[in-house]
């Protein structure tokens, strides 16, 4: 498996495609782009993280940067630290939800966003040309800030808007998958009054299960919720930007509901536009309609959503993969902000998670992927665009092609990282999803 490079950074297999040399090169290139400057550097809990963090620090310092090391932190804590400390940028050593054999780098700009495509391309060019900024004297000493995670958690708790007395003593099971969420999440939940049962709560980076927060990986959490008679189960990924929910019956309710419930929670108190990417469920449109606010749809990728939120003054936004952004905290997906919103909704309504879920219109969904080279992907998209125009369909072509109709929506788009094309649909029932997918596949020649 080769090194995966995208706007948000790099990912690779430790000791194969991802080596300290590669990390030094990217850090030198990013430090060059930043022209020196003050940078915060964090890592998730993977055992290779300290080694790569040292390599990243060396690369940044060699380019004249002043590096503040945060140690093991959640990616949203890094975003919060950048904003709070007015840093020029940040770097987190993490492979997010990828398995333990992986590691990587996430780059954040001075706003806490993944660099825009031009800046990301510039980093790659600097690395390819080896045209690094290299200071020869006046190296800036490493700084350390061990409290960035704590301050992030306090910031999220400080933004609670409802009386959380109803949460006092409420039992919550937290699965931090032995990732970066282990450190500050239990105290955060306790500060809201919850009684926390923590599973996989050692920040060892030895993942007790596959780390992506999907149903098949969260059996232990579902069982623990039932066994402890908890009101809710929370599952974080290793860098704790994503959150999945388990209801009080021990049912995994799907990652799409994290953003849906967070949106309802915020809009019930404050009206304003919301943002989500093109592949996020229509549930957010239904909720926004109830409150009379618009939904801004963006291409897939956290930075696209965050940029749209900043530009339009959104009150909440994110992605259907369990990524919730509260722009008051930082423009980074944040499992703590997501937990806070879900708990506030529970406290304000007195409803159980399953009841809150039942109050949102339910959709069926279908996702397929096809191995496809670039030429074939381009031909497929062109055929779909032509046919949609011929039919006079409602089309969004900002990232692949999404076609919306009264029945539902279907999206065809190329993966940013792999030679595959993804087709996904959402509609009232499975049969409609299947026919939407079958139709677009036949037009696309897949
Ligand atoms: Mg993640």
Which DSSP string do the residues of 141-164 spell out, in sequence order? Answer: PPEE-TTHHHHHHHHHHHT--S-G
**According to DSSP H, which parts of 63-130 are helical?**
75-85, 117-129
What's the CA-to-centroid distance between 379 and ligand 1, angstroms? 32
- Which member of 45, 96, 176, 337 is catalytic? 96
Respond yes or no: is residue 330 known to be catalytic: no
Q: What pLDDT score does 275 carry?
A: 98
Handedness of CA 17, 21, 24, 25 (dihedral sign): negative
What's the CA-to-centroid distance between 240 and ligand 1, angstroms? 6
What's the CA-to-centroid distance between 242 and ligand 1, angstroms? 6
Q: Where are the domains of the chain?
A: 4-146, 151-358, 364-444
Q: How far is the CA of 323 from the CAs of 40, 56, 213, 383, in angstroms?
A: 22, 26, 11, 32
Strands (E), 164-321: 171-175, 195-199, 232-236, 243-246, 274-277, 295-298, 316-319
What's the CA-to-centroid distance between 104 and ligand 1, angstroms? 11
Q: Coil, helix or strand for 423?
A: strand
Q: What CA–CA distance (Å, rounded) separates 182 from 174? A: 9
Strands (E), 237-290: 243-246, 274-277
CB atoms within 10 A of CB 350: 8
364-444: CATH superfamily: Alpha-D-phosphohexomutase, C-terminal domain (3.30.310.50)
CB atoms within 10 A of CB 232: 24
Q: What is the dihedral of CA 128, 15, 104, 51, to 10 degrees?
A: -100
What's the CA-to-centroid distance between 138 and ligand 1, angstroms? 36
The pairing of strands 408-414 and 420-427 is antiparallel
Half-sphere exposure of residue 307: CA atoms within 13 angstroms, side-chain side: 15
Place of tokens 């700009």: 109
∠ CA 262-268-270, nearest 5°, is: 95
Q: What CA–CA distance (Å, rounded) separates 103 from 113? A: 20
Q: What pLDDT score does 287 carry?
A: 97
In the numeric block, which tokens belong to residue 395?
A: 């089309």
What's the CA-to-centroid distance between 444 and ligand 1, angstroms? 32
CATH class of domain segment(s) 151-358: alpha beta
Give the DSSP H/E element, type plus range, for residue 54. Answer: helix 49-62
Q: What CA–CA distance (Å, rounded) separates 379 from 220? A: 44
Q: What pLDDT score does 307 carry?
A: 96
What does the pLDDT profile of the chain (446 residues) look like in tens digits? 688 888 778 999 999 999 999 999 999 999 999 999 999 999 999 999 999 999 999 999 999 999 999 999 999 999 999 999 999 999 999 999 999 999 999 999 999 998 888 999 999 999 999 999 999 999 999 999 999 999 999 999 999 999 999 999 999 999 999 999 999 999 999 999 999 999 999 999 999 999 999 999 999 999 999 999 999 999 999 999 999 999 999 999 988 999 999 999 999 999 999 999 999 999 999 999 999 999 999 998 899 999 999 999 999 999 999 999 999 999 999 999 999 999 999 999 999 999 999 999 889 999 999 988 888 889 999 999 999 999 999 999 989 999 999 889 999 999 876 778 999 999 999 999 999 999 999 999 98
CB atoms within 10 A of CB 147: 13
What's the CA-to-centroid distance between 239 and ligand 1, angstroms? 5
In the numeric block, which tokens belong to residue 132?
A: 């690094």
Q: Do you know the residue count of the chain?
A: 446
What's the CA-to-centroid distance between 375 and ligand 1, angstroms? 31
Ion ligand 1 contact residues with beta carbon within 5 A: 96, 237, 239, 241
**Contact (CB, 8 A) for 277 and 321:** no
CATH class of domain segment(s) 4-146: alpha beta
Q: What CA–CA distance (Å, rounded) separates 238 from 363? A: 29
What's the CA-to-centroid distance between 153 and ligand 1, angstroms? 17
Q: What pLDDT score does 1 carry?
A: 65
Asked whether the domain spanning 151-358 has the same topology as the one spanning 4-146, the reply is yes
């Amino acid at each position: 498996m080769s090194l995966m490079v995208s706007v948000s950074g790099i990912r690779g297999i430790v000791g194969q495609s991802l080596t300290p040399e590669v990390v030094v090169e990217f850090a030198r290139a990013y430090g060059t782009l930043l022209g020196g400057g003050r940078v915060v550097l964090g890592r998730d809990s993977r055992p290779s993280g300290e080694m790569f963090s040292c390599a990243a620090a060396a690369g940044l310092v060699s380019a004249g940067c002043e590096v503040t090391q945060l140690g093991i932190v959640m990616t949203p804590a890094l975003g919060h630290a950048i904003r709070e400390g007015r840093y020029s940028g940040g770097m987190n050593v993490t492979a997010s939800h990828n398995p333990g054999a992986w590691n990587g780098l996430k780059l954040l700009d001075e706003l806490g966003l993944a660099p825009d495509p031009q800046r990301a391309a510039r980093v790659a060019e600097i690395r390819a040309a080896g045209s690094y900024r290299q200071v020869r004297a006046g190296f800036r000493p490493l700084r350390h800030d061990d409290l960035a995670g704590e301050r992030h958690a306090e910031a999220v708790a400080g933004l609670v808007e409802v009386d959380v007395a109803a949460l006092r003593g409420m039992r919550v099971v937290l699965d931090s998958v032995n990732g970066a969420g282990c450190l500050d999440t239990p105290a955060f939940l306790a500060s809201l009054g919850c009684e926390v049962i923590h599973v996989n709560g050692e920040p060892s980076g030895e993942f007790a299960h596959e780390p992506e927060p999907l149903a098949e990986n969260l059996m232990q959490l579902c069982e623990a919720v039932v066994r402890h008679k908890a009101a809710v189960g929370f599952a974080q990924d290793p860098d704790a930007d994503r959150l999945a929910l388990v209801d009080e019956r021990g049912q995994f309710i799907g990652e799409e509901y994290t953003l849906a419930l967070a949106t309802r929670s915020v809009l019930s108190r404050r009206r304003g536009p919301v943002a989500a990417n093109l592949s996020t469920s229509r549930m957010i449109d239904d909720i926004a309609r109830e409150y009379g606010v618009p939904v801004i749809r963006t291409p897939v990728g956290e930075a696209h959503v965050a940029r749209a939120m900043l530009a339009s003054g959104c009150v909440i936004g994110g992605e259907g993969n369990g990524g919730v952004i509260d722009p008051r905290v930082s423009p980074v997906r944040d499992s703590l902000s997501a937990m806070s919103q879900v708990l506030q909704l529970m406290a304000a309504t007195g409803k159980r998670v399953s009841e809150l879920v039942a109050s949102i219109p339910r959709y069926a969904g279908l996702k397929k992927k096809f191995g496809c080279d670039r030429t074939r992907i381009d031909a497929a998209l062109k055929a779909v665009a032509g046919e949609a125009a011929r039919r006079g369909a409602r089309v969004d072509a900002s990232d692949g092609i999404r076609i919306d109709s009264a029945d539902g929506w279907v999206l065809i788009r190329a993966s940013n990282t792999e030679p595959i094309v993804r087709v996904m649909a959402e509609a009232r029932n499975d049969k409609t999803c299947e026919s939407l997918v079958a139709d677009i596949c036949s037009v696309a020649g897949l």
